[in-house]
Homo-oligomer: A and B are copies of this chain.
Amino acid sequence: MTESKRKRRVLLTGAEGTIGAVVREFLSDQYEIRSLTWQAEDFPSHVGDISDYEAIRPAFDDIDVVVHMAASSAIETPWEDILPNNLIGTYNVFEAARDAGVGAVVFASSNHAVGMFEVSGSPGLYELDDPRVYDHTVEIRPDSLYGVSKAYGEALGRFYMEQHGMRVVCLRIGAVRAGDDPYAPTIINTPRPLIEPLTPEQRRQRMRAMWMSRRDCAQLVSRSIEADDVPWAIVYGISNNPRQFWDLSHAREVLGFNPEDSAPV
């Protein structure tokens, strides 16, 4: 098999998570996926905590692209977990990738890096006829320490791209649900200032704008893995929803992302 025809080798951190499962389910035919998880799972994985550089470094050998999904992903995550899992962990992943000569990292950022645009615009922002849209050029406005950690990860990715020639795509992913139902009555990752004021209908409207179907998520990750001519991008990840306040045009333009699903009105 020639170099150009072999499947790309993808190291997937956080392979046990909601989005990790999406990548494994939808993209295992397309890529040779190697999983990295912090504890043993019921699928093959390299076991290591991303806050421990030496424990994870061997997993990066012979990898073409790292898809870095491992993190504490709850918006309420306290500093004690943000520090090892999101700050130290993300540095370790970029550094191990650099050390191993990996050419590209797809980084799970989050809309929470700029979530105060949502907080300050809510709830009117969720309405179908509200015109506001925020793109990848808006200023950093984290809504949580979690959001701060994602802004940090983007800055770190930018540095690794410019200093070390690594290709980096940052995905500000919206709300991917394990069961794919945008309106499932399970925990919603809502900024603290928003939790109290929102009515059930407003929460529904919020999810209508934030939802990303599992297959659209897989498509966005795949497009990011294959965008060899894109050295750097920050894009939002939502489905083609009836109301969108996170911009999709940049993802369409630079990555050719073309979401197939839409949250029901």
Contacts and interface: CB of A to CB of B under 8 A. Distances in A.
A95 B162 CA distance: 32
Interface in A80-138: 83, 87-88, 91, 95, 113, 116, 119, 137
A8 interface: no
B148 A151 contact: no
Chain A, interface residues (CB within 8 Å), range: 20 to 34
A77 to B, nearest CB: 13
Given A79-B91, A87-B87, A152-B151, A159 B137 contact: no
Contact of A159 (B83, B139, B143): B143
A142 B163 CA distance: 9
A116 B152 contact: no
Nearest to A95: B79
Task: Tell me the interface secondary structure of chain A in the complex.
Answer: helix
Contact of A140 (B95, B154, B192): B154
A140 B162 contact: no
A253 B88 CA distance: 38
Contacts of A139: 137
B142 A158 contact: yes
Nearest to A87: B87
A217 to B, nearest CB: 25
A90 to B, nearest CB: 10
B155 A151 contact: yes
